[in-house]
C-alpha cells in the first residue's frame, strides 16, 4: 500500500468515525442494555414469566375477547410473542370484505394481556425496556428519519471498521500485544483502540452488517428493487420475501369458527420433537376459507435455524400444508433467522447475553478512545491555540453526552420504579421527560465544566451509587428483594437487580482505580511540554512500516 493510500484511508477512517461518534455511542450503549430488554420490561411490570414459555397462551379465550371488541371478519390476524413477556402482539390486516365497516378497513396493532384480557395500544404498552431498546435505533425521532439515521450510522460504522482494518493491517499482530499504560495519553488511547478494536472486530462487523440490514435493509437497500424490479409494486416484493404460508382465496362466505386454536397449536407442536410455536397467523377470519398457519421453530440446542409450518383448514381442522423444521430451511427463512439471532444474541441464554453485553461496552470504549486519539493527536504546537481549544471542547461535549448516559439510565430506572403511575395512559411521556431532560441537564453541566477526568469520574460515581439503589428501591416498592426473587425463581426480576448491583460494584472499583490527577496533569503537561519528541518517532515508524 502506497503512502498516499495509507494516509488517505487513514483520514477516511478518522472522519467517518468522528462524524458518527456520538450517534454510534448512543446506539451501542442503549443497544447493550437492550440485551436485557425483556427482563427490564418484566422487572418494571413485576410480571416475571418462566423462560421459554412464549406462546403458552390460552388463545381461544384471547381470540374470543378480541373478537368481542374488534370486528375481525375477513381479516388476517398475526399473533406472536417475539419478546419474553406476558403480553401478546396482535396485528390485524384490513378486511378483505369490501363492505366491511370502517373500523375493519384499517390495520390494527395492539398488545393483549392474556392474563387479564386487557388490550394496550402501542404507546400504552411502552416501558423503560422498550424505550431504551427503541433509543438504540433512534425511534424517538419521527419515522422515517430516526430509522434512516440509525441505518446510515450503522453503514458508516461498517465503512469505519473496514478502513480501520486496512490501515491497521500491517501492524495488526504486533500492535495487539502492545500496551503502554505509562506512556503519554495518546499512546494509551491508541493501544486501547487497536487492541480492543481487534478483539471486538468480529462482533462489531456482525453488528454493523446485521444492524444496517435490520433497520434500512428493506427501505433503502431494496428500494431500487422495489422501483425497478417490481415496478414500484412493493406489496409484490414483500409477498415474495415473506415466509408466511399463502392464504386461501377469500370467498366472502361467512362461517362461524367452531374449532379450537389451542388444539391446532398443540397439534402443530406435536408434529416434531423439540419445537415450539413461534407465530400464529389466522387468515380470512370467519370465512369459509379461514386458515390457521402455525410457525414452529426448533429449540436452539437442536438446530440454529429452522422453519416448520403447519396450516389447518379451520372449517374441518385438517392439515393442508406441512413443512418440517428439520428439513432444508428455505434460504429466506434462514437469512431472517440468522440476522435476528446474531443481532439479538438470544440463542445462548444469559451467559451469551452477558458476553454480548461485555463486547457492546468494549465497543463503546473503542468509540470513546477513537475520539480521544483524535483530540490528542491534534493537540500540538503546529496547530493554532484556537483550534486546539476547539478540539478539546468538542471532545468534552462528546464525553459529556456519552458518559452521562450511564447515570441517566440509572436515574430512569429509579424513577420508573418509584414514581411511575401504572394507570398512566401515556407512560412514554413520563419516560421521555425523565430520560431526555436529565440527559440534557447532565450533558450541559459536564460540557460547561469541560474537564474530561471530572466527567468520567462523576458519571461513574453517580452511576454506581444510584445503581446500588435500584435493587433497594425495587425491594422497598414491591417487596421483591434480590434473595426473594432468586428463591422464587423470578429470574427476570432477579437479573435486573443483580445487573445493577454488579455493574455498580464494577464501575465503583474502576472509579477508585482511576489515579486522581495523574491523567489530568498528564494531559495538561503533555499538551505543553513533552509533545514533540514522541510525535516524531511515531510518524517515522508509520512511514517505515507503510512503505
When the beta carbons of 304 and 481 are compared against another protein, the nearer one is 304
User: Are 392 and 450 in contact, with CB atoms under 8 Å apart?
Assistant: yes
**Upper half-sphere CA count for residue 216 (Cβ side, 13 Å):** 22
**Chosen residue from 32, 42, 163, 455 binding another protein by CB under 8 A:** 163
Kindly write out the interface string for residues 526-545 of this chain, putting x where it contacts another protein by CB under 8 A and - elsewhere.
------------xx--x---
Q: How many residues bind another protein (CB under 8 A)?
A: 47
- Least separation in angstroms between residue 54's CB and another protein is 25
- Least separation in angstroms between residue 147's CB and another protein is 15
Max CA distance (Å), the chain = 87
| Residue 9 binds to another protein (criterion: CB under 8 A) | yes
User: Are 300 and 347 in contact, with CB atoms under 8 Å apart?
Assistant: yes
Kindly write out the interface string for residues 366-405 of this chain, putting x where it contacts another protein by CB under 8 A and - elsewhere.
-------xx--xx---------------------------
Which parts of 240-279 interact with another protein (CB under 8 A)?
240-241
- Least separation in angstroms between residue 218's CB and another protein is 7
- Least separation in angstroms between residue 11's CB and another protein is 4
The dihedral formed by the CA atoms of 345, 347, 349 and 352, expressed in degrees to the nearest 10: -50
**Chosen residue from 22, 49, 82, 166 binding another protein by CB under 8 A:** 166
- Looking at the DSSP bridge assignments, the partners of residue 91 are 78, 109
When the beta carbons of 176 and 454 are compared against another protein, the nearer one is 176
- Long-range own/partner contacts, residues 499-505 (CB < 8 A, 24 or more apart): 499/36, 499/39, 500/410, 500/413, 500/467, 500/468, 500/470, 500/471, 501/467, 501/468, 501/470, 501/471, 503/463, 503/464, 503/467, 504/463, 504/464, 504/465, 504/467, 504/468, 505/464
Distance between CA atoms of residues 196 and 217, nearest Å: 28
- Least separation in angstroms between residue 125's CB and another protein is 29
- Least separation in angstroms between residue 174's CB and another protein is 16
From 118-126, 136-144, 161-169, 293-301, give the range in contact with another protein by CB under 8 A. Answer: 161-169
| Residue 508 binds to another protein (criterion: CB under 8 A) | no
Closest CA to 435 of 41, 137, 143, 128: 128
| Residue 12 binds to another protein (criterion: CB under 8 A) | yes
**Chosen residue from 7, 70, 140, 251 binding another protein by CB under 8 A:** 7
**Chosen residue from 83, 87, 136, 186 binding another protein by CB under 8 A:** 186
Q: Are strands 118-120 and 108-113 parallel, antiparallel or unpaired?
A: antiparallel
| Residue 10 binds to another protein (criterion: CB under 8 A) | yes
Kindly write out the interface string for residues 303-342 of this chain, putting x where it contacts another protein by CB under 8 A and - elsewhere.
----------------------------xx--x---x---
Axis-axis angle for helices 518-528, 185-199 (nearest 10)? 120
| Residue 176 binds to another protein (criterion: CB under 8 A) | no
**Chosen residue from 43, 155, 261, 357 binding another protein by CB under 8 A:** 155
- Spell out where 314-379 has E strands: 318-323
- Residues 6 or more apart in contact with residue 538 via CB below 8 angstroms: none
- Residues 6 or more apart in contact with residue 239 via CB below 8 angstroms: none
Residue matched to cell numbers 472509579? 511
- Least separation in angstroms between residue 235's CB and another protein is 13
Closest CA to 128 of 413, 488, 543: 413
ω into 358 cis (within 30 of 0): no
Which parts of 407-436 interact with another protein (CB under 8 A)?
none
- Least separation in angstroms between residue 526's CB and another protein is 14
When the beta carbons of 49 and 335 are compared against another protein, the nearer one is 335
- Least separation in angstroms between residue 222's CB and another protein is 6
When the beta carbons of 213 and 438 are compared against another protein, the nearer one is 213
Distance between CA atoms of residues 144 and 433, nearest Å: 22
User: Are 402 and 30 in contact, with CB atoms under 8 Å apart?
Assistant: no
- Least separation in angstroms between residue 333's CB and another protein is 10
When the beta carbons of 90 and 373 are compared against another protein, the nearer one is 373
From 4-12, 252-260, 363-371, 396-404, give the range in contact with another protein by CB under 8 A. Answer: 4-12
When the beta carbons of 221 and 476 are compared against another protein, the nearer one is 221
- Residues 6 or more apart in contact with residue 235 via CB below 8 angstroms: none
Q: Report how many helices (DSSP H) and strands (DSSP E) the chain contains, helices first.
A: 21, 8
Kindly write out the interface string for residues 434-473 of this chain, putting x where it contacts another protein by CB under 8 A and - elsewhere.
----------------------------------------
Sheet (strand 88-92) strand order: 118-120, 108-113, 88-92, 77-80, 275-283, 291-298, 308-313, 318-323
Residue matched to cell numbers 379450537? 260
Distance of CA 177 to the CA centre of its chain: 32
User: Are 117 and 129 in contact, with CB atoms under 8 Å apart?
Assistant: no
Kindly write out the interface string for residues 189-228 of this chain, putting x where it contacts another protein by CB under 8 A and - elsewhere.
-x-----------------xxx-xx---xx--xx-xx--x
When the beta carbons of 81 and 163 are compared against another protein, the nearer one is 163
| Residue 19 binds to another protein (criterion: CB under 8 A) | no
Residues near another protein (CB under 8 A): 3-12, 14, 155, 158-159, 162-163, 166, 186, 190, 208-210, 212-213, 217-218, 221-222, 224-225, 228-229, 236-237, 240-241, 331-332, 335, 339, 373-374, 377-378, 538-539, 542
Amino acid at each position: 500500500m502506497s503512502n498516499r493510500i495509507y494516509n488517505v484511508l487513514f483520514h477516511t477512517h478518522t472522519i467517518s468515525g468522528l462524524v458518527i461518534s456520538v450517534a454510534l455511542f448512543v446506539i451501542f450503549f442503549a443497544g447493550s442494555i437492550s440485551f436485557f430488554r425483556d427482563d427490564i420490561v418484566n422487572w418494571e411490570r413485576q410480571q416475571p414469566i418462566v423462560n421459554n414459555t412464549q406462546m403458552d397462551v390460552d388463545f381461544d379465550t384471547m381470540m374470543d375477547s378480541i373478537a368481542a371488541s374488534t370486528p375481525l371478519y375477513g381479516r388476517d390476524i398475526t399473533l406472536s410473542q417475539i419478546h419474553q413477556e406476558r403480553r401478546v402482539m396482535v396485528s390485524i390486516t384490513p378486511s378483505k370484505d369490501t363492505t366491511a365497516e370502517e373500523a375493519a378497513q384499517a390495520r390494527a396493532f395492539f398488545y393483549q394481556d392474556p392474563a387479564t384480557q386487557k388490550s394496550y395500544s402501542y404507546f400504552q404498552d411502552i416501558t423503560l425496556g422498550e424505550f431504551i431498546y427503541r433509543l438504540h435505533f433512534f425511534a424517538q425521532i419521527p419515522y422515517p428519519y430516526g430509522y434512516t439515521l440509525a441505518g446510515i450510522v450503522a453503514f458508516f460504522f461498517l465503512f469505519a471498521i473496514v478502513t480501520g482494518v486496512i490501515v491497521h493491517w500491517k501492524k495488526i499482530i504486533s500492535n495487539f500485544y502492545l500496551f503502554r499504560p505509562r506512556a503519554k495519553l495518546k499512546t494509551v488511547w491508541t493501544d486501547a483502540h487497536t487492541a480492543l478494536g481487534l478483539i471486538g472486530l468480529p462482533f462489531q462487523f456482525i453488528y454493523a452488517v446485521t444492524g444496517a440490514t435490520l433497520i434500512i435493509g428493506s427501505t433503502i437497500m431494496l428500494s431500487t428493487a422495489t422501483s425497478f424490479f417490481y415496478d414500484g409494486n412493493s406489496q409484490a416484493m414483500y409477498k415474495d420475501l415473506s415466509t408466511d404460508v399463502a392464504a386461501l382465496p377469500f370467498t366472502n362466505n361467512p362461517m362461524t369458527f367452531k374449532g379450537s386454536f389451542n388444539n391446532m397449536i398443540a397439534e402443530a407442536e406435536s408434529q416434531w420433537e423439540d419445537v415450539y410455536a413461534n407465530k400464529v397467523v389466522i387468515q380470512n377470519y370467519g370465512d369459509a376459507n379461514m386458515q390457521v398457519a402455525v410457525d414452529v421453530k426448533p429449540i436452539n440446542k437442536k438446530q440454529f435455524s429452522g422453519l416448520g409450518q403447519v396450516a389447518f383448514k379451520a372449517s374441518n381442522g385438517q392439515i393442508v400444508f406441512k413443512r418440517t423444521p428439520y428439513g432444508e430451511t428455505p434460504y429466506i427463512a434462514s437469512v431472517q433467522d440468522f440476522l435476528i439471532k446474531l443481532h439479538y444474541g438470544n440463542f445462548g441464554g444469559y451467559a451469551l447475553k452477558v458476553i454480548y453485553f461485555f463486547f457492546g461496552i468494549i465497543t463503546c470504549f473503542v468509540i470513546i478512545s477513537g475520539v480521544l486519539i483524535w483530540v490528542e493527536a491534534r493537540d500540538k504546537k503546529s496547530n493554532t491555540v484556537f483550534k486546539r481549544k476547539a478540539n478539546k471542547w468538542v471532545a468534552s461535549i462528546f464525553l459529556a453526552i456519552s458518559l452521562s448516559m450511564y447515570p441517566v439510565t440509572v436515574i430512569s430506572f429509579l424513577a420508573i420504579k418509584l414514581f411511575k403511575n401504572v394507570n398512566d395512559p401515556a407512560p412514554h411521556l413520563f419516560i421521555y421527560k425523565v430520560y431526555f431532560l436529565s440527559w440534557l441537564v447532565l450533558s450541559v453541566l459536564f460540557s460547561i465544566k469541560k474537564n474530561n477526568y471530572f466527567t468520567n469520574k462523576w458519571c461513574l460515581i453517580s452511576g454506581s451509587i444510584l445503581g446500588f439503589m435500584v435493587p433497594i428501591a425495587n425491594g422497598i416498592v414491591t417487596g421483591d428483594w434480590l434473595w426473594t426473587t432468586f428463591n422464587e425463581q423470578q429470574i427476570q426480576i432477579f437479573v435486573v437487580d443483580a445487573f445493577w448491583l454488579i455493574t455498580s460494584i464494577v464501575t465503583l472499583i474502576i472509579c477508585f482505580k482511576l489515579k486522581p490527577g495523574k491523567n489530568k496533569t498528564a494531559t495538561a503537561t503533555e499538551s505543553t511540554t513533552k509533545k514533540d519528541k514522541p510525535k516524531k518517532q511515531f510518524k517515522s515508524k508509520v512511514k517505515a512500516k507503510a512503505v
